[in-house]
Amino acid sequence: MQRRRALQVIAGLALCPICTKPPFAADVHWGYEGPEGPENWGNLDPANGVCAAGVQQSPVDIGNTFEATLLQLKINWAAHAETIVNNGHTVQVNMGEGGVLTHDGSAYRLVQFHFHHPSEHHYAGKAFPMEAHFVHASASGTLAVIGVMMMPGRANGTFSKIVTSMPEKEGPPVPADPMISPNSFLPQSRRYYRYSGSLTTPPCNETVDWLLFMDPVQVNEADIARFGQLFPMNARPVQKLNRRFVLRSA
C-alpha cells in the first residue's frame, strides 16, 4: 500500500506544478491575480482550505537564520529530461528514472522541476528575478524541494534551451530537448537554508521539506524576459514564518 501511494504521488507530481492530489481531480481554476489569486485560494475549493488556515505555509522571506550542522545534500540527478509542458501555471520539465537526492538518510527521486517569475522565496526582504523548484518524492510519499534562485548574468545553456523550446500555450507534455539537464542549475556552493513548509500552489499541503541554496545561479537576462512574456507573474506572495525556524548549513 505504501508503494502504491508513493507511485500515485509521483504520477501526480509529473503532471502539475507541486501538488499531491490527482491533477484532474477538480475543475476549480486558480491563478495568481484577481478573484482566483492567492488571497482567495482557500475559498475556491474546500480541499484548498489549508492555503488560508495553515500555519506553515510557503514561500517565506529568509531573514534571521540559525547555523546548524546540516548534512551535505547528495545530488545525483539524471543528465537528461524526459518531457516539457506548459501547464497553464508554469513551464515544467518532467524527469524519467535515475535522478536521486539523498537527504537525511532517505532517497528522494527527482520527479520534475519548474520555474517562478519572480522568485517566490525572498532573501532579506528581496526577491530574485526567477526561482527554480526541483521536486523530489521519497518511496513513502514525503517531499523535498530544492529551490535555486536565478539572476541575470552569464547565459545558462540549459535554461536557454528551455525558453526556446517551451510550449507557448497550455497543453500536454511534449518531448524535451535532449540537451536539457537539471544539473546545469546547481550553484558551485552547496550551502543551503532549510525549513518546514508547504506546497506553494493549491492545495498548499504542509508536507514539504524546503532546501534553498544560498547562492543564486546566473542565466541570460534575455531568457528571463522571454519566460516573463509567457508568465509575467506566477509567484505566490511570502507567507508568515510564525513559530518556525530557518536553519542554515555551515
**Is the pLDDT score of 248 beyond 70?**
yes
pLDDT for the residue numbered 24: 34
Residue, of 12 and 181, whose pLDDT is higher? 181
pLDDT for the residue numbered 245: 97
**Is the pLDDT score of 10 beyond 80?**
no
- Spatial distance between the Cα atoms of 25 and 165, rounded to a whole number of angstroms: 29
Q: What percent of the chain has pLDDT over 70?
A: 89
Q: How many residues does the chain have?
A: 250
Yes or no: say if 122 and 59 are a contact pair by the CB < 8 Å rule: yes
Residue, of 97 and 52, whose pLDDT is higher? 52
pLDDT for the residue numbered 8: 43
**Selection from 130, 106, 83, 108 nearest residue 230 by Cα:** 130
Residues 69-90 have pLDDT tens digits of 999 999 999 999 999 999 999 9
Residues 186-222 have pLDDT tens digits of 999 999 999 999 999 999 999 999 999 999 999 999 9
Q: Say which CATH topology domain 2-249 has.
A: Carbonic Anhydrase II (3.10.200)
pLDDT for the residue numbered 7: 39
The stretch 227-236 carries a mean pLDDT of 98
Q: How confident is the model at residue 27 (pLDDT cuts 50, 70, 90)?
A: low
The stretch 143-152 carries a mean pLDDT of 98
Mean pLDDT across the chain: 91
pLDDT for the residue numbered 13: 52
**Is the pLDDT score of 120 beyond 50?**
yes
What secondary structure, in 3-state letters, does the chain show?
Answer: CHHHHHHHHHHHHCCCCCCCCCCCCCCCCCCCCHHHCHHHHHHHCHHHCHHHHCCCCCCCEECCCEEECCCCCEEECCCCCCEEEECCCCEEEECCCCCEEEECCEEEEEEEEEEECCCCCEECCEECCEEEEEEEEECCCCEEEEEEEEEECCCCHHHHHHHHHCCCCCCCCEECCCCCCHHHHCCCCCCEEEEEECCCCCCCCCCEEEEEECCCEEECHHHHHHHHHHCCCCCCCCCCCCCCCCEEEC
* C-alpha distances out from residue 52 to 25, 44, 209, Å: 20, 11, 20
Q: How confident is the model at residue 65 (pLDDT cuts 50, 70, 90)?
A: very high
pLDDT for the residue numbered 97: 83
pLDDT for the residue numbered 1: 36
Domain boundaries, the chain: 2-249
